[in-house]
Amino acid sequence: MSNGRTAQQKILRHRFLAWTQSPLTWRLALLVLASTGMIFAVASWYTDRVARDLLLHEARENTRHRARQAVRHVDSILQSVQPLPGLLANRLAEGPLERAELERLLRAMLQANPTIYGGTAAFEAEKCAPYFYRKEGRLAFSDLAAEHYNYPARDWYTAAKERGRPTWSEPYFDAGGGETWMVTYSVPFHRERNGRREFAGVVTADVQLDHLSGIVSDIKLYGSGYAFLISRRGQYISYPQREVMFRESIFSRAEKTGSQQHQEIGQRMIRGEEGVVRVSSRHLGRMSWLYFAPVPSSGWSVGIQFAEDEVLADLRVMNRTVLVIGAIGFGLLFAAVVFVAARVIEPIRQLAQQTREIAKGNLDLQIPRVNSRDEVGDLTQSFENMRVALKEYIANLAHTSAAKERIESELKIAHTIQRNFLPKRFPPFPDKLQFDLYAHLEAAREVGGDLYDFFLLDDDHLFFSIGDVAGKGVPAALFMAVSKTLIKGVAEQNLSPSQVLEKANCELAQENDELMFVTVCCGVLELSTGRVRYTNAGHLPPLWLRPGREAAWIELPRGLLLGVEPDSRYETRTLTLQPGDTLLLYTDGVTEAMNMRDEFYGEDRLRALATQHTGAAPKELIATITEAVQQFSSVVVSPNDPTISMLAEPTAQSDDITLLALRYRGQGTGQTRQS
């Protein structure tokens, strides 16, 4: 029992090592994790951005609400102060009051509005300024007309006098008066004197700044967020650091820090604008958001500032939690993917081991069967079928290779036999000095369908011909051999060229079930005179090359292809060559040679090239044309400039190329003519 358990443990350990050492297992696991990680990262980034924007938007809206709430509160306090001093100023503008009545009205003003800290009526013409203010829960009196106070020089008095309308003063400490930090609402009044309206004095209502500052300083946001209040000139009325209040302005602090942004924000606030900006806070020591709004009645401005990272603190905690959960999840996912991948890949690993043996040539090794009905089972069965098929194929390939070698050997023999059918000794008749002749055939396959021939009918007549059988390969080669042999046999009966083609056509058309046909152009050169009798059976017109003149096409008579209609008739025409003239016969493998731009060599190129070499010997002429055709077939378009071409491997030859050049040297003179 113990030995069996130990063996099973070894098998499991071996499989585990095989699974974990499989490159495919790790690649699959890493691919899954990389894809999942990318999706998780993109989703986390998007969620973080959306949550960040939502939190900041909510914080800005909350700040806007708190700021407007504070503005309404401060503004309501200031507006509640304004009516009573205005009423008293109107009463004083109507005429003077007894001192006792004036003091009674001032006390009544303070008693009617607990927000008012103190108030006075200061006169211009006479030194009179009774002042009542709150002190320790009761009304106290102070005479501001005393010399040590000098109220005509005070800001609350001069500002109202100069502007001629009610105005709020800048924050100040009222030494000698209320003995506290305050702001004063001053209402000027005027009286008619000598028909003129003259300034008569100022009625004031003071508001203690501790009360207003407390309203703003009570605003707290996100731990370290705070609110502040500035006057029309930017002076701090309320600020978290009490040593800054009434002593510094938003502009002086911006100048200390060298912050142009805070200077611009201060300008916007004293202009009465409302807005929200992202700033670097000196007080908070980090990036923050500042919302500011004006207090309409006084021209002051409330600002609320909060740290950005405090708003996003919960988001950072959530992100860290998500990362921890994600890391744990990735670890579990990695283990699960490795396990599942190993289970799936194990049959593939075994299959790979077996196929490596098969690749070494061991085709008798059977692939283990897999019972699963999935792609792995299908793959295993396919490899087994492939092994059997490959074994059979190799056996068949040995027989096929032997047969192919036999066929190739036979084709080589056929190629040699076909070549032997054609004249291949040049010059063919060394003792005949009246002409020079050369011919060349280049087959597209081992054997082809083009033909050429020439032979002496007698001492004064040379028969020559060129032809092109429809099709290629062995059938064309057989038809070519029959056609050449038949034409030569008929021509030796001393018949005219047209009669030769008529008899040959009649024989070829008999029982031609495969509808094979051949084009032929042939003629007979009379050596003593240069006269040529020629005829045509659907072939291309030869070129007539004369020294010093442009090459010209010979006009051929119409004639049907050989092997189609047994009763076809052909016409014989005559031309006379001068000494030095050359006849160039060719097949369509020359003019229809194609390059990699799908362009044909064409008759125009052939004619132009022949014109340049009218005086060349036949062998040289044919070599020049063959080389030109091969170079043309090698032209391709340059990838950088379509106007520049370069040479590459020639395109595969699509048809047999055959040329025959016959140059007449002559042995007398006479006029060259064509009839």
CATH of the domain at 155: 3.30.450.20
| Residues 487, 406 share a domain | no
pLDDT at 11: 55
Backbone conformation region of residue 546, classed left if phi is above 0, alpha if psi is from -120 to 50, else beta:
beta
Binning the chain into helix, strand and coil, the percentages to the nearest 5 are 45, 25, 30
**Please, which contacts does 238-242 make with residues 24 or more away whose CB atoms are closer than 8 Å?**
238/209, 238/212, 238/213, 240/283, 241/283
In a domain, 567, yes or no: yes
| Alpha-carbon dihedral 625, 627, 628, 633, rounded to 10 degrees | 130
Cβ atoms 154, 201 nearer than 8 A = no
In a domain, 70, yes or no: no
| Residues 179, 118 share a domain | yes
| Number of domains present in the structure of the chain | 3
| Residues 599, 496 share a domain | yes
| Residues 519, 648 share a domain | yes
pLDDT at 602: 92
Q: Which two tokens stand for residue 299?
A: 């021209």
Counting beta carbons within 10 angstroms of the beta carbon of residue 534, is it exposed (0 to 12), middle (13 to 18) or buried (19 or more)?
buried
Q: Distances from the Cα of 342 to the Cαs of 36, 346, 377, 491, 631, in angstroms?
A: 19, 6, 16, 84, 60
Chain mean position to CA 152? 78
| Residues 484, 411 share a domain | no
Cα distance between residue 635 and residue 601, in whole Å: 11
Cα distance between residue 470 and residue 480, in whole Å: 9
| Residues 475, 530 share a domain | yes
In a domain, 350, yes or no: no
What CATH number is attached to the domain comprising 488?
Answer: 3.60.40.10
pLDDT at 671: 41
pTM: 0.47
Cα distance between residue 233 and residue 169, in whole Å: 10
pLDDT at 223: 73
Strand, coil or helix: 502: helix
pLDDT at 318: 81
Q: For the chain, what percent of residues have pLDDT higher than 90?
A: 33
Q: Which two tokens stand for residue 534?
A: 């020629």
pLDDT at 265: 87
Give the structural domain span for 656: 425-664
The secondary structure of residue 280, as a DSSP letter, is E
In a domain, 615, yes or no: yes
| Residues 497, 411 share a domain | no
In a domain, 406, yes or no: yes
Peptide bond into 427 cis (omega under 30): yes
pLDDT at 429: 92
| Residues 522, 497 share a domain | yes
pLDDT at 284: 60
Among 189, 211, 233, which residue terminates a domain? 211
Segments of the chain scoring below 70 in pLDDT: 1-26, 282-285, 341-354, 357, 360-361, 363-381, 383-384, 387, 391, 402-403, 407-419, 445-447, 635-654, 668-675
| Residues 518, 384 share a domain | no
| Residues 467, 512 share a domain | yes
Cβ neighbors of 655 (< 8 A, separation 6 or more) are: 444, 472, 587, 588, 589, 592, 593
| Residues 167, 87 share a domain | yes
pLDDT at 573: 96
Place of tokens 């009573």: 84
| Residues 417, 429 share a domain | no
In a domain, 11, yes or no: no
In a domain, 643, yes or no: yes
In a domain, 545, yes or no: yes
